[in-house]
Amino acid sequence: MSTLRHFLDLDRFDTATLRRILDLAAEIKRNGANGHTPLLQGRTLAMIFEKPSTRTRVSFEVGMRQLGGNVVLLSENASQLGRGETMADTARVLSRYVDVIMIRTDDPGKLVELAEYASIPVINGLTDTSHPCQLMADVMTYEEHRGNIAGRVVAWSGDANNVARSWVHAAVRFGFRLRLACPRPFRRCSELLEWAQSEGGDVALTTSPRQAVEGADLVVTDTWVSMGMKEAEKRHNELAPYRVDTQLMAQAKPDALFMHCLPAHRGEEVTDEVMDGPQSVVWDEAENRLHVQKGILAWCLA
């Protein structure tokens, strides 16, 4: 896959490169929307969405435009992808028109195929198994509020989904301790945990939300039913004990933060009291998607 600067998954990076991207994002954020040189003038981003999005869609487009670039949007149904054109051929064609591609899709294999056949950088805007842009924004947000995340304790309570998997990657690369509380049927992550262990990461799995959250610096959750998932009722029943409410937050450190990648299902994985409470930084987290993705775009196109 050559020397192209793809942004596929955090486990593919070394810590120094991820730190460089965060530094770039912070610098771009400090300079403000219009207060910097148009770093990406004349460059075009193609965005492929095979799943719905609000934050990713808007923050990538606004970010690209603020850096002086252009954007083209492709949805699965309004492009030939929906009629069976392969990712490989799509990659070859888009590489002749644009400078960088962001894709949100179900199968991580499609992301890899796109990156393999593109002659331009490819960015992962979420698959069924990861959401690395989100994690970059989350680490940025934590550090803005509380300083370096290395050595801190992060607790996840909920489904072992795509975002949780990226938290595992981030724990290893940024050196924080991660406690995942997930019901047994929804784990599907033994390989990932083996990887974390082999990399010297401190990642633990439990079925007890209280145990995971006790003494944590940060509590995180996400929807119980990710896009494309079935068996919503079964998931709701199994995941109900993992809801983040004020009682669960009280187990964490008094100055612990709460994060959620959004969209939230209020009253399900998180209560209004926590979402709207003083420990919640969910709006800063959403804002930082914009800044961090400008950093990612600038790094990819450097």
- Among residues 185, 168, 277, 179, the alpha carbon closest in space to that of 236 is found at 185
Catalytic residue, from 9, 138, 159, 222: name it. 222
Alpha-carbon 134 to chain mean position:
2
- Among residues 36, 44, 47, 31, the alpha carbon closest in space to that of 114 is found at 47
Q: Does 161 bind ligand NVA (CB under 6 A)?
A: yes
Among ligand NVA, ligand CP, none, residue 161 binds (CB under 5-8 Å by kind): ligand NVA
Stretch touching ligand NVA by CB under 6 A, among 206-214, 222-230, 284-292, 294-302 = 222-230
DSSP string over 201-249? --EEEES-HHHHHTT-SEEEE--SS-TT---HHHHHHHHGGG-B-HHHH
Q: Does 261 bind ligand CP (CB under 6 A)?
A: yes
Catalytic residue, from 43, 55, 235, 289: name it. 289
Q: Does 227 bind ligand NVA (CB under 6 A)?
A: yes
**Residues 13-52 as x/- pattern, contact with ligand CP by CB under 6 A:** ----------------------------------------
Stretch touching ligand NVA by CB under 6 A, among 36-44, 59-67, 159-167, 208-216 = 159-167
Among ligand NVA, ligand CP, none, residue 213 binds (CB under 5-8 Å by kind): none
Residues 235-274 that bind ligand NVA (CB under 6 A): 261
Is residue 134 within 8 A of residue 261, CB to CB? The reply is yes
Other C-beta atoms lying within 10 Å of the C-beta of residue 251: 17
Dist. CA 142–CA 284, nearest whole Å: 9
Is residue 238 within 8 A of residue 284, CB to CB? The reply is no
Is residue 46 within 8 A of residue 36, CB to CB? The reply is no
Catalytic residue, from 261, 291, 293, 300: name it. 261
Among ligand NVA, ligand CP, none, residue 223 binds (CB under 5-8 Å by kind): ligand NVA
Torsion angle, alpha carbons of 170, 175, 181, 182, to 10: 30
Q: Does 53 bind ligand CP (CB under 6 A)?
A: yes
* Contact footprint for ligand NVA (CB under 6 A): 126, 161-163, 222-223, 226-227, 261
